Amino acid sequence: MMSALALTIAGAAPLAAEDGAQLFVKNCQTCHVIAKDGGVRTGPPLWGVMGRKAGSIEGFNYSAGLKTSGIVWTAETLDQWITFPKKMVQGTTMLYRQTRPEIRKAIIDYIATQKD
């Protein structure tokens, strides 16, 4: 039996919610914590990020461009961000890029569930 991830790669089915959690660990967790009251790593914590203004976590050293961007994180802005952060905000320090829309969507769907 093929996993949802394998089926998506073949173009047959969308990724399942549990795949989003696994993809977050694989692609994002090196730099970001997503636990409530999680600490800061290379990137800011992502618990409750949906609806939050970019560059607004106290104690994290954001780039000047991100702090003044006016971005509010939504599924759409996160999708654009993860696709090519340096194109969205010049001077950002985020290097990760994800070209595959199904992987971005699964990660964003997972991130959206991580809130109070």
pLDDT digits 0-9 by tens, 24-60:
999 999 999 999 988 889 999 999 999 999 999 988 9
At 44 the pLDDT is 95
Of the two residues 3 and 84, the one the predictor is more confident about is 84
Number of Cβ within a 10 Å radius of residue 13: 15
Rg of the Cα trace of the chain? 14
pLDDT at 17: 60
What is the structure's pLDDT at 7?
Answer: 43
**CA–CA gap between residue 39 and residue 58 (Å, rounded):** 11
Read off the pLDDT of each residue in 4-11 and give the average, rounded to a whole number.
48
pLDDT in tens, 56-77: 998 899 999 999 999 999 999 9
- For residue 4, pLDDT over 90 is answered with no
Domains and CATH numbers, the chain: 15-113 (1.10.760.10)
Contacts of 20 (CB under 8 A, 6+ apart): 106, 107, 108, 109, 110, 111
> Maximum CA pair distance of the chain?
48
Cα angle 75-111-51, degrees, rounded to a multiple of 5:
50
28 DSSP 8-state letter: T
